[in-house]
Amino acid sequence: MVKELIFSLICGLLGIILSPSAYGEAGKFATIRLNPHKKLGEVNKLVFGNNQLGYQYGAWEWASPEYADRGAGIWDPEDNQPVPEMVKFAKDIGMTVARYPGGCGSHLFNWKKTIGPLSERPQQKFGLPEFLRFCEAVKAIPIITIAEYFGSPQDAADLVEYLNAPDDGKHPWARKRAEDGRKEPWNVIWFEFGNESDHGDHKGRRFSPEEYAGLYRQYRSFMKKVDPKIKLGAVLFNDVTPQINPWTKTVVKLTGDIADFYIHHAYIPLYYRNDGVPEAKTLFPLALAGPRQIAEYYREIREFIRETTGRNIPLAITEFNGHFVQENPIPYRLSLGCALVVAELLQVFLQPEFHIANAQYWQFANEYWGMVKGYNPPYTLRPAYWVFWLYHHYFGDILIDAKVECDSYDTLGGYGVMAQIGKPSQFRLYPGNILPKQKWELRDIEGVKHEEIDGTLLVEIQTEEELNYYHARKKMPAQPLMGYRVSAEIKTEGLEKSRGAQIQVGDGRGWGATQSAALSEEVKSSDWQKVSVDYITLPDTKEIEILARRLEGEGSKGKIWIRNVKVEKFQPSNLGAVPYLSVVASKSKDGKKVYVAIVNKELEQSIETEIEGVKTRKAKVFSLTGPSVDATNEDNPQNVRVIELPVELSNGSLKFFLPPHSFTVVEIEM
């Protein structure tokens, strides 16, 4: 029913003829050259996954019955079955992988409270068996997050037994699975050890990378003893720039001999402002440059993993989206522009060079980000839904070579996106300390005594209550769009069981005004440790500030010493101007059809586009577009929609006009 409804929507729009004037005059031209005989690899359809939420009721302030009982709308607890409409939506976007239980709600997740008779878990009606039944209905592969801040390696081993061991009288947890209605094993393969584990459990506990890596090895050993076929992923830091974070370096070095895969979350841009600055026509060209930067990071991390481990360990991108955390002037995370970021991130994940095992969009239904809105009909299908829909219905099985010639644009970057201007250039460090000589500027804070002694900052924390320390700083002039590498030596006393000390560098106007800063690694050691952090300034930065930090969280009394603070300037790497079009192409297994997926980042004008390199008998062109790049479907479900575009066939090539701010797929019959 849903599929027929969707197709009727498309068919109802077939009479719309998109001329250049429909969305502004055509002023740009592009040529896409295909080589169907040059195969790049199989299309990995496991990148078209999604997140499902089963937050444990009462464990978090955000863990409401909508998640614990209804899975954010995919589960019907009254009828004890998946919601039929949600199953159809999931099938119609080709959901291949489903992740559970969802994000930071998994830090302290006790899976043993999510199984057994419903009468014994009245506040967890959407538990592990229900999630797996949803996966079975959708034909999606499950990936399950293991709580890293709760439980033990044996709890993880028990989970594997529950899921995968035979019910033969020798496995008590398999017997519980049978009692839950599933005698045959679920045969779950994919697990990840934690979620964004570097930032802690939000209740004051935070592992060092060494601690995390040690636990990963223990958990993997216990789980593999139950079922050697399972794969356990280790969590990397969520970088968005090619600089590799110390957490990632340590985790890879300490797990690289055994890791089954590594985990990264791709969120870009990092936009938190709620004041409409900059306006959408400035913000979205910047945001649409982000996927190129993510691709560059994956090149860097792949090389680092190979050099460090001698192995080609895959990545899993278990969360990705445009990271717009705001509401005004409209929620950009639900907009067409954000959907275009997602469309190009999927193009990145499809590239064989990045060795992506699977990926899951954050996230499928309701909550803050869901691509499907509603707990009952009528449902709203948001722009990102249609991106997945188009890939599912109009993309092939084998990647083929595609080249594009088109105009480019410059962006000054910001909000986690590096400047991309003119010709590409390499990173360049200018050695030498440029920090002006100055004392630490100290501000009073209750529970802390701090002073500077012979150039060394001494911070005495005199309370065990939660404390967020950022009250010592240095400032210096800075250039916009320039890099600054800040280093220092730090040691601590008495903070081994709480948050440690680190350096923060950010825009001189402060985090509250700009949401722009970077943190060094954290130190909890009585020996002097050198730390370093890189920060790239905003387009309007005039100065930077360097803060002594101890992040919030329950802690203990202790001392922090910081000395030898230095600043070096560097020219960030520059990927060069951003092409207006990004393209990925594929063909069917029988070679009779070729598919092209195109993201158009030109916001104002349509682009006259020609595809060459194939002998075309017939072609269809479908485009996801709307009245503006920041358009949503919140008030009008058909505001951002898929339309069919007219296409001209001539001498074996085809021509059409790409609407501005659009995601377009082309199906070509050979």
pLDDT for the residue 26: 55
Residue with more model confidence, 224 or 8: 224
Domains and CATH numbers, the chain: 2-40+581-669 (2.60.40.1180), 45-397 (3.20.20.80), 428-571 (2.60.120.260)
Whether 12 has a pLDDT exceeding 80, the answer reads no
Whether 580 has a pLDDT exceeding 90, the answer reads yes
CB crowding 232-268: b at 16 or more within 10 Å, else e: bbbbbbbbbbbbbbbbbbbbbebbbebbbbbbbbbbb
Whether 181 has a pLDDT exceeding 50, the answer reads yes
Mean pLDDT of 546-568: 89
Q: What is the C-alpha to C-alpha distance for residues 148 and 107, in angstroms, rounded to an integer?
A: 6
Mean pLDDT of the chain: 92
| Angle made by CA atoms 560, 564, 565, in degrees to the nearest 5 | 85
* pLDDT tens per residue across span 238-279: 988 877 888 999 999 999 999 999 999 999 999 999 999 999
**Within a 13 Å sphere around the CA of 125, how many CA atoms are in the beta-carbon half?**
18
pLDDT for the residue 61: 66
* pLDDT tens per residue across span 503-514: 999 999 999 888
Whether 23 has a pLDDT exceeding 60, the answer reads no
pLDDT for the residue 615: 85
Please tell me whether the peptide bond between 269 and the residue prior to it is cis, using omega within 30 degrees of 0. Answer: yes
Whether 654 has a pLDDT exceeding 90, the answer reads yes
Of 13-17, 99-103, 368-372, 555-559, the least confident = 13-17
CB crowding 214-225: b at 16 or more within 10 Å, else e: ebbbebbebbbe
Residue 342, H or E segment:
helix 336-349
Of 173-177, 332-336, 513-517, the least confident = 513-517
Residue 202 binned pLDDT confidence (cut-offs 50, 70, 90): confident
pLDDT for the residue 220: 98
Whether 21 has a pLDDT exceeding 60, the answer reads no
Is the C-alpha dihedral spanning 464, 466, 467, 468 positive or negative? positive
Residue 344 binned pLDDT confidence (cut-offs 50, 70, 90): very high
* pLDDT tens per residue across span 621-650: 999 999 999 999 999 999 999 999 999 998
* pLDDT tens per residue across span 366-405: 999 999 999 999 999 999 999 999 999 999 999 999 999 9
* pLDDT tens per residue across span 79-94: 999 999 999 999 999 9
Of 205-214, 353-362, 378-387, the least confident = 205-214
Would you tell me the crossing angle of helices 84-92 and 2-12 to the nearest 10 degrees? 50
pLDDT for the residue 19: 40
